[in-house]
Amino acid sequence: MTVRSGADDERSASDARRSATLPGRFAGRNALVTGAASGIGKATALRLGREGAGVACLDRDAAGLDMTVAALAAAGARAEAIVCDIAKSADVARASGRAIEAVGPIDALANVAGIGDVSGHDGIENLPDDRWQRVLDVNVNGAFYLCRALLPAMAGRGFGAVVNVSSLAGRSKSANANLAYTTSKAALLGLTRHLAFDYGRRGVRVNAICPGGVDTPMIRSAAALAAASPEASAARAKGLAAYQFFMPIQRMSTPDEQAAAILWLLSDDASYVNGVSLDVNGGLYMA
């Protein structure tokens, strides 16, 4: 998904428009963002801070977190870096408590962190237990642990919003990763709908976005792994070519475009939006 179209100056203007923030939209509120060291998570944390939120930034990558928090501090935002493996329940409980101590009660939760597994294109018979479990632990259990830790307090205050980052794979099927990834992202949509029903009546909205191809470190690492063998590279190229044929907007999105959708769902602008799986894929998947 690397097709580019339009003149360079048009692209630059478009990028500038997409980078626009709404200062003060999250003033007086506090957010927790997972996967904040890079990609969509970092873009989301930066936007939230620039729009007035205090931001607790979670990730396993301590160096990446420090860079994100430094950028937030330079923008005048309150932020805290918290190293956390969201696949571990006890780690999430600890990190959630620290987040509340550092920035205050959490009003907005963005479950962005996730992992893929591009090494299983050859079928279910070659997918071992540990790889299957690791993908589900991060992509599903991580969001579950964060929601369990934070939603009851949001409901107690009668206010809050959650956005889970699923994938086009959760709506259809991944072209790049194996069935564990597709399964995990579909499960995340089920979690979203159930929580939206349970907590909507208590003042907490729960929604999801479903990105298509996004230019993130995870996508770039997937490309590098695929290139490690001619067979994997050929399988990836075939899948991407098929996707590319049907792409109305013929390019990958930026992390900032995905962050913009997340912030809209977290904001009061989406105050009557609950239980939605928002497709943010340029029209590649339409439902």
Residue 106: exposure state from Cβ atoms within 10 A (0-12, 13-18, ≥19): buried
Hey, how many other C-beta atoms are within 10 angstroms of the C-beta on 245? 8
Q: Is 199 a catalytic residue?
A: no
Rounded to whole angstroms, how far apart are CA atoms 34 and 225? 24
Rounded to whole angstroms, how far apart are CA atoms 274 and 69? 30
- Give me the count of residues in the chain: 287
Rg (CA), the chain: 18
Q: Give 124's DSSP letter.
A: G
Q: Where are the alpha helices (DSSP H) in 123-178?
A: 129-136, 142-157, 168-171
For residues 151 and 195, the answer to whether their CB atoms sit within 8 Å is yes
Rounded to whole angstroms, how far apart are CA atoms 257 and 15? 9
Catalytic annotation, pick one of 181, 199, 243, 272: 181
Residue 40: exposure state from Cβ atoms within 10 A (0-12, 13-18, ≥19): buried
- Residues labelled catalytic: 181
